[in-house]
Structure 1
Amino acid sequence: MAAMDSRRLLYLQRMGIDVWVRRTDAAVPSLRPETAEESERTPESARAGEVSVAQPAPAGEMPASPDETVREPAGTAAEAADWETLRQQVLSCTRCPLHRTRTQGVFGVGSQTARLLIVGEAPGAEEDRRGEPFVGRAGQLLDAMLRAIGLDRQTVYITNILKSRPPENRDPRPEEVAACEPYLRRQIELLAPALIVAVGRVAAQNLLRTDRPLGRLRGQWHRYGPRETPLLATYHPAYLLRNPADKRKAWQDLKAVRRALDTEVSA
């Protein structure tokens, strides 16, 4: 346990979170008081997404999940074929004009049997070049955040609202989100995750079909889709790089995700 706490403290330090430790237990990290909430702008309208939102629960409490529908065992040849078919559809997609300016479609990465799904906004320049989400500086921070709660990108699944990079990394347009939305819904259907984490305002607002600022969406559990999958919104790693003071609040969100995963395992 002491070794795990020491590694977690190291990851928190690499994330740039100032920590202090009790003199009686130097291996256990603790965080300083939180800063003021993020001020965010409200978009002109909520963007498209297939969701079902229930009464939020505090982030520290895992909301009860309904009985899962019976599906083919994960990892079968049929499921692998479904994933590959979907990936090829994304790579060859021409449903919106972004296919003319992108280098390639960015499908997703991670375990196709993961219990945790992380949804971001859209590929950036490096992601567009390499064909994998979250591989730049923001991706390095996301990796550190996952390691801090005992996970990595091989044990979770990571994707974006958009599968193509918007020019100059601008916000996705409603028609672009609508064009990509069937791909994301199919990914979620195939994965059937136990939890979803929406990183950043764009991902959270689109998944929850709301224009509420991220500062009001985080810190509580929401529900997504017909399976009413528990969803937690948190800050995008790129935002945290620009606003390191909010890493403390992101750490609180990560701990809520870890508790929820542990609850789901023991249930």
Structure 2
Amino acid sequence: MVSNNLIPPIPVRPNINGLQALWLQEAGIDRLWGEPLLPLGGGRQGAVSAVKPGVAGPGHLAGTKESGRQAEGQAFTTARPVVSHLPSRQVQRPVPAQTPQEETPTAMVLRPDLGQLDWPGLRESVANCTRCALSEHRRHTVFGEGALPADWLFVEEAPGEQDDWHGQPFMGKAGTLFDNMLKALGLQRETVFITPLVKCRPVANIAPSKEEVASCQGFLLAQIERVRPKCIVVFGRAANLLLGSNETIEALRAQDCFINDANGQKIPVVVTYHPNHLMVAQADKARVWQDLQTALRIVRSCS
């Protein structure tokens, strides 16, 4: 019982349930009251004793019809086990979130309508192409230039601003650096073939979308069939699009890469950094020179 400030004090029975009585008993707080804590309620199933075995206190006598409270000081001879009837709760295990898989670039497939075109017809088809939104902002398409056929095929991702103005690949400062790379190999623009993968300049030089790449990929495959190169040198992100790989340029440089031509023959592909990259990271010029030497050995071995 709990005392209060009334004069004289009137014992007040705490209003607790069976589970609360068990908690107070385990914590030892029930000893603060003069008698064991019992939950309120008249049902037998709801009455739970909070007296530990061997602790004296009033309680209910088992096996008799007496329902009243016994005198204080009478102790329990035995203690009944306490059973807690709590509703079972099914715990739903959280389903682990699936990690989104990286998207693989779309495989390049030659368009049937391009397979029947000759070289001038293919060039005209590129000039009149409106398959994607890039055609709305271009000044000129960049078909490519050079020898036909050619042992070397150089592929970049997309035309730059100067390329768009002139309709030719590798113009401006990057073009000057590219010309020096050719001279170091004993080559000229007239002896190789150079082309971008995407034939129209992307707006603000941003990376072309998957749809824009898909619109132009048939043109490149048709050019590869007609140029018949012994080696393809791919610059920068064009390597990922041509090879269908999400690996870094550095990782692709260390691999032996190939693509299949129309007859199923493998064409070696050498991946290296774009001249625009070299104007910022000049330390990578040595790596590009190593890649070009690898391409030179491939071309010579096929002669």
The one of 197, 208, 224 aligned to 1:172: 208
User: What is the match of residue 204 of structure 1?
Assistant: 239
- Tell me how far apart the structure 2 counterparts of residues 106 and 196 of structure 1 sit (CA, whole Å): 18
User: CA RMSD, aligned part only?
Assistant: 1.6
User: What is the match of residue 124 of structure 1?
Assistant: 160
Deviations 1:96-149 (A, max 9, x none): 010000101110010011111111010011000000010111111111111111
TM-score computed with the length of structure 2 as normaliser: 0.61
Given the alignment of the two structures, is residue 238 of structure 1 paired with residue 276 of structure 2, yes or no? yes
User: What is the match of residue 150 of structure 1?
Assistant: 186
User: What is the match of residue 182 of structure 1?
Assistant: 218
The one of 92, 99, 115 aligned to 2:135: 99
Give the secondary structure class of the aligned counterpart of 2:207.
coil
User: What is the match of residue 48 of structure 1?
Assistant: 106
Contact 1:222 1:232 in 2 (8 A): yes
User: What is the match of residue 222 of structure 1?
Assistant: 257
Offset of 1:155 from its aligned partner?
Answer: 0.6
- Tell me how far apart the structure 2 counterparts of residues 166 and 237 of structure 1 sit (CA, whole Å): 18
Contact 2:108 2:218 in 1 (8 A): no
TM-score computed with the length of structure 1 as normaliser: 0.70
Q: Gaps spanning 5+ residues in structure 1: where?
A: 1-43, 52-80
Given the alignment of the two structures, is residue 110 of structure 1 paired with residue 110 of structure 2, yes or no? no
Q: Gaps spanning 5+ residues in structure 2: where?
A: 1-101, 110-116
Offset of 1:258 from its aligned partner?
Answer: 1.4
Give the secondary structure class of the aligned counterpart of 1:233.
strand
- Tell me how far apart the structure 2 counterparts of residues 183 and 237 of structure 1 sit (CA, whole Å): 23
Alignment coverage as a number of residue pairs: 193
The structure with the larger Rg is: 2
1:24-103 matches, cutoff 5 A:
45-50=103-108, 82-103=118-139
Bigger fraction of residues in helix: 1
Offset of 1:49 from its aligned partner?
Answer: 4.0
Give the secondary structure class of the aligned counterpart of 2:288.
helix
Give the secondary structure class of the aligned counterpart of 1:220.
coil
Given the alignment of the two structures, is residue 248 of structure 1 paired with residue 283 of structure 2, yes or no? no
User: What is the match of residue 177 of structure 2?
Assistant: 141
Greater relative CO (CA pairs within 8 A, separation 6+): 1
Deviations 1:208-246 (A, max 9, x none): 101000010013321112321111100000011110000
AA of the residue aligned to 1:108 = G
- Tell me how far apart the structure 2 counterparts of residues 207 and 105 of structure 1 sit (CA, whole Å): 20
Aligned sequence identity (%): 43
Deviations 1:138-189 (A, max 9, x none): 1111111111111111111000110000000000100000000111110011
Deviations 1:43-96 (A, max 9, x none): x63433438xxxxxxxxxxxxxxxxxxxxxxxxxxxxx7111000000010000
User: What is the match of residue 264 of structure 1?
Assistant: 302
Contact 2:108 2:214 in 1 (8 A): no
Offset of 1:190 from its aligned partner?
Answer: 1.0
- Tell me how far apart the structure 2 counterparts of residues 49 and 139 of structure 1 sit (CA, whole Å): 29
User: What is the match of residue 32 of structure 1?
Assistant: none
- Tell me how far apart the structure 1 counterparts of residues 233 and 107 of structure 2 sit (CA, whole Å): 15
Contact 1:113 1:191 in 2 (8 A): yes
Offset of 1:260 from its aligned partner?
Answer: 1.5
